Structure 1
Amino acid sequence: IIARAEHLIRKGVDPRRILLLTFTRRAAREMTDRLYLSIGDAANAVTAGTFHHFCLLTMRRMADKFGIHDFTVIDRDDQNSLMRLSRAGYVKKKEKFPRASQLVNIFSYSRNTNMNVLEYLDKYTEFDEETPNKILNIFTEYKQRKQFNRYLDFDDILYHFGKKLNEDPSIRKQLRSRYDHILVDEMQDTNPLQWLILDGLKDPAKLFCVGDDAQSIYAFRGADFRNVHSFKDRVPDSVVIKLEDNYRSTQGILDVSNWLLKESPLKYNKKLKAQRGAGIKPLLVDFDSDLDEAKWIAENLIERHEAGSLWNEHMILTRTAWGSRSVEAMLIEKNIPYIFIGGTSFLQAAHVKDLLCHGRPKNALNPPG
């Protein structure tokens, strides 16, 4: 993305006519900083940010056309509070019904996937016959409360922007005239609503999207990998360039990835090639329990250490901090030194520290030996 923006500007494209969209504010800042290091002050003229930032900034500059004068953007906690108030009039005390936070998630997901609420509930939930209509009534009141208080939640930002962009020809014409090039990073993490926005902005602007259709991890937030996988179908005159040379992993690891891609019912039609050599072939070991797994890891580390490897030459990766608890406990039991990165380590957990505090007075009164 950075190289593309730099190339366009060096070729004479006005940086003010380049729109760079990414998934997080951190990524947007990093891209702007790197572009500044490459081309200097011209980077400051590029419009760069997240989808939410771009849409909100545009709507505020065109407040009359979008009808959002004096609106306040609320966060997820405010959404939950407002949904709780909306829910109260329809749900009896102790009635088994989705909590306010669950309703906010349903509302958000249906918005981001650009689906009708009842359609979403029918497709992705198993509620009884009465619940969907009650949820729909709660959502109607939720939207009315937002409108009355002049609130916008994060999903409203994309929804209202996309709706106006595709329904109002004058807005679409005005916004399409602003940019010649639209660059999108992490395209596999975009959702149907974000695609609707891109579709409304392109032509004559050219889309340049970077993404990996085998690396989409935000499906729970509505991300649709088909925005990459089916790009050629959605933009028939597009050119797809496959980047199959991998500079991060060794071929042993990529062979596993290639096997998974081949076994998939989807046709990825790509084969990854390592630039770091063959490497060590990964080993898959199956265990009956977390404790068995932790014990195997600890014993394997001890064997490696006794063979001459240093402790700091090893790394253990887990999906979540909670998932590392058994491993961490076994490392402590086996006196294996480690550094915990991300989340709270086992010994720093509040309940463990409380237990250790209770044991200290006893040890002080009865010292060992």
Structure 2
Amino acid sequence: MTSVDAYAAELLEGLNDPQRRAVEHPGGPLLVIAGAGSGKTRVLTHRVAYLVRTGQAGLGEILAVTFTNKAAAELRHRVGDLLGRSTKGLWVATFHSACARILRVEAEKLGYTRQFTIYDSDDSKRLVKRVLEADGADTKRFTPNGVRNQISDHKNRLRSVEQAQQLAAGQYDRTVADAYAGYQKQLVANNAMDFDDLMGRTVDLFERYPDVRARYRNAFKHVLVDEYQDTNPAQYRFLQLLCMDDPMHQAGPSGGGGRDATGGAVDAVSGEGRLPLGQDALTAPLAGEEPGHRNLMVVGDDAQSIYGFRSADIRNILDFEDDFPDAEVIKLEQNYRSTQHILDAANGLIANNTNQRPKHLFTDLGTGDEVRVRALPDDHAEARWVVGEVERLAGEGVPLSQMAVLYRTNALSRGIETALTQAELEYQVVGGVRFFDRAEVKDALSYLQWLHNPANTVAFARVVNRPRRGIGDTTVGRILSHAAATGTTPLDVIKDPAAAGLKTAACKAVSTFAEQVAELHETLAGGHPEGAAADGGDLRVADLVEDVLRVTGYRAELEASTDPQDEGRLENLDQLHAFADEFDEEAPAEGDAQHVLDRFLQGAALLSDADRKADNPDGQVTLMTLHNAKGLEYDAVFLVGCEDGVFPHSRAIDSGELEEERRLAYVGITRARRHLSLTWARRRALYGPPQSQVPSRFLRELPLDALDETSPDALSGQPGGGMPTRGRRDFSSIGRVGRGPGGGAGGSGGGAANLAALGLKRGSALAGGDDDAPPAVNWRPGQRVRHVKFDAGEVVRMDGDVVVVRFDGHGEKRLIAGFARLEPIT
């Protein structure tokens, strides 16, 4: 055996048969379907090392593309370990960094200098804001971040300005298209590109200059791509141009292998659109151009494609053989992370997706603990149960750092954070901000702090221009200076802004703000005309919170926004309202309004302060959204909030995007190594007072054989293991939370829908009693109704137990009639 053979054999040791076939692949297109925990990074790194050791390619002739710098660094390090030498010359990079490297050399061909600036997301948002303001657009309705996201989507789909304008179907789309045009011209004028341009411009370069395309194609004999299921049309086109024989022929008239609206890059010099891919003569290959090597290896898992909102196109991985008919497909189905019961739950769930590449994950790690599904009386009981189980597992030797609580939206972290803090358990929020540190929550609390103490200049400075009301830093500085000089408070100054030397426009803006503050002080004093104060003058803090959001226009600005992040901010404010509502229900009504508000603010401050005391990352429970959990793994995982409308999210239900939501659930389940629990609450405070909930449709798709014996009862609405009802909490100090013996589940609190309403089938995980079925409700088409969150609307139709309502300010929504809490408007 030669030394090369010996080296190659060493690289193949320890690989299972599918992994070995992928590493030894003789060349040409290869798709590796890598199930969760199946060792895809091992396959990628061994493939690169194998190509080098067998002499098929030098380090400088391989391009390995990942999605994060961390993944690229890990891949490079592991390849170096396998080769036992430096990996200098190997191109291991993210898509964007690889393209930036190419453009630094070739930028002048596109009208840029090589010293072009790369705008980060903040730079980009600021430029979009300036363009919107120059166009006279209302930046409260057309938020810079929302418009920037839409422009990004156009670029990721390789849509030119002209195409965006042609596709614009309404005022918002037209405003975005116009902003896109102005934004692109400004970028070019500034000799700058944003992140999306790095991909689009490289595609543009390869299409316009076949000699450049040929040079890079010949330079990289092998191209490897990680997380292929997350590629967008621009990234797909980049790979196509780099590896295929005839880009013009392959692209078709609309580009992207026949995909819709992926053609047409933006001309760098004019900022205007040009013809889509396949219609531009410049895409024709040069005479004598070398044919594409087609040595493209892509690794991914369609079941983990969860970034559709970032323009990722799952068809790239589902249709790989359409683009490469001679491609070899290898499935990695042996899982090295989780026990079999967890994998059975994941397999059973994802089997319900229509658009997928079927696979069956298996493991040699044993069956392990059965998956637990628990129904809790409410979201407080859910949080206490999770914390009780965290303490139980910790007592059995599972480190806190090996436990994670996952949820669909950040707003659901609030209850878990509170329970962990009261139990004196340290935690970290990954990919997000702790609840009381979120900007919108701090804004609302700062309003309350300033109402309570008008001398609080820090709170005043934070809220005086939130939402934006034309009161700039100079004006704020003069108000604070005048208050300090006269020995008064900012509240006194804004009542007579002219005395502070403010100009006319500033006086007008400040006076309007003063009127809003005066109305809020009436609420605090119990004199609000809408009855925000309770009978007898007792203050309800929840009503005061809602008045702050309404009177100041804070809620209206977020509701008018089309930015998806603003929807999350609204959910966080709803959770703050729920937090205040809990205080109103549980705290003794003692003292006047100011005293009540003081106790509420003290409780919130103590919770917030306790949040910051955690300083031991190795001893912290991890909290994060399901999107942030991708690529991570833990010994114990708790997936909370498994209710229809929460997870799957109501937005996904309304828009028919359930398959991506199911893939998200699959990702969450496969994060667990040994212990997996899924919980839902029969009542949850989401948009005001607690409402009855129904279990997630995903729960009834879990195979019974993977669940423990308590799960079916918990899901059916039958009494479970004696979870105590929610007890009184003391908001004036931090104490430990009580819980039932053994962290028991269940409780007979109402809310589970009957089998017919949920579409349950005999033998499913949810089949069982229906004592708490919703009342039969029939709404008439055309009937006017009101909803606690969506306000007024008109009934469109009844679909069985689902009522379809077109709300005046929120469009059409599908609601379960028995739990929608609609009221007729007479």
Unaligned runs of at least 5 residues, structure 1: 364-369
1:129–1:347 distance in 2 versus 1, CA, 3 Å:
closer
Aligned to 1:105: 149
Task: Decide which of 204, 211, 224 is 2:293's aligned counterpart.
Answer: 204
Which structure has greater helix proportion? 1
CA 1:300–1:121: 2 relative to 1, 3 Å: farther
AA at the equivalent of 1:191? N
Larger Cα-atom Rg:
2
How far residue 188 of structure 1 moved from its aligned partner, in angstroms, is 1.3
Indicate which of 32, 42, 46 corresponds to 2:90.
46
Quote the offset at 1:321 in angstroms: 6.2
1:152 aligns with 2:196: no
SS of the equivalent of 2:332 reads coil
**How is 1:165-176 mapped onto 2 (pairs within 5 angstroms)?**
165-176=206-217
CA distance in 1, matches of 2:175, 2:325: 42
Q: Of 18, 25, 41, which aligns to 2:62?
A: 18
Distance in 2 between residues matched to 1:288 and 1:106, nearest whole Å: 41
Counterpart of 2:48?
5
215, 218, 222: which is aligned to 1:181?
Answer: 222
- The answer to whether the Cα contact below 8 Å between 1:213 and 1:225 also exists between their aligned partners in 2 is yes
Inter-CA distance 182–328: structure 2 relative to 1 (3 Å threshold): same
TM-score, structure 1 normalization: 0.84
- Given the alignment, which residue of 309, 326, 329 partners 2:396? 309
- Measured in 2, the distance between the counterparts of 1:66 and 1:95 equals 32
Residue among 359, 375, 379 paired with 1:290: 379
Provide closer, same or farther for how the CA distance between residues 14 and 339 of structure 1 changes in structure 2, counting only shifts above 3 A. Answer: same
Give the letter aligned to residue 253 of structure 1.
I
Higher mean C-alpha displacement, 194-203 vs 107-116:
107-116
1:194 is aligned to 2:194: no
Distance in 1, Cα, partners of 2:330 & 2:603? 53
Matches of 1:219 and 1:101, distance apart in 2: 18
Q: Is the 8 A contact 1:19 1:182 kept in 2?
A: yes
SS at match of 2:429: coil
Q: Which amino acid aligns with 1:47?
A: W
- Would the aligned equivalents of 1:107 and 1:117 in 2 still touch at CA under 8 Å? no
Q: Note the C-alpha offset of 1:9.
A: 0.3
1:251 — aligned with what?
340
Unaligned runs of 5+ in 2: 1-43, 244-291, 446-601, 610-731, 733-826
Alignment partner, residue 30 of structure 1:
74
Amino acid at match of 1:102: G
In structure 1, what is the equivalent of residue 132 of structure 2? 87
- Structure 1 counterpart of 2:326: 237
Distance 1:251 1:117 in 2: 51
Distance in 2 (alpha carbons) for counterparts of 1:79 and 1:301? 42
Question: 2 CA distance for matches of 1:355 and 1:293?
Answer: 23
Return the offset for 1:43.
1.7
Q: SS where residue 64 of structure 2 aligns?
A: strand
Secondary structure of 1:318's partner? strand
Match of 1:367 in 2: none
Are the equivalent residues in 1 in contact too, given 2:421–2:607 (CA < 8 A)?
no
Name 1:281's counterpart in structure 2: 370
Q: Quickly say closer, same or farther: Cα 1:59–1:311, change in 2 above 3 A.
A: closer
The 3 A distance-change label for structure 1 pair 290 and 167 is farther
Q: CA 1:77/1:113 → structure 2, altered by over 3 Å: closer, same or farther? A: same
Deviations 1:164-217 (A, max 9, x none): 212332222222111110011111111111000000001214001111111123
- Matches of 1:233 and 1:288 in 2, distance apart? 50
Instruction: State the alpha-carbon separation in 1 of the partners of residues 323 and 237 from structure 2.
Output: 11
Alignment partner for residue 340 of structure 1, among 408, 414, 427?
427
Displacement of 1:141: 1.1
Identify the range of structure 1 (202-211 vs 290-299) with the bigger mean alpha-carbon deviation.
Answer: 290-299
312-321 vs 286-295, greater mean Cα deviation: 312-321
Q: Say if 1:312 and 1:50 are closer, same or farther in 2 by CA, change over 3 A.
A: closer
Q: Greater CA deviation, 68-77 or 281-290?
A: 281-290
Q: Is the CA contact 1:28–1:48 (under 8 Å) kept in the aligned structure 2?
A: yes
Identity percentage over the alignment? 31
SS of alignment partner, residue 45 of structure 1: coil
Query: How far off its partner does 1:342 sit?
Result: 3.4
1:61: how far off?
1.6
- d(CA) in 1 for partners of 2:311, 2:232: 5
SS at structure 2 position matched to 1:269: coil
Range with greater deviation from structure 2 (110-119 or 193-202) = 110-119
Which amino acid counterpart does residue 157 of structure 2 have in structure 1? T
Q: Given the superposition, is the C-alpha separation of residues 146 and 281 from structure 1 closer, same or farther in structure 2, using an over 3 Å criterion?
A: same
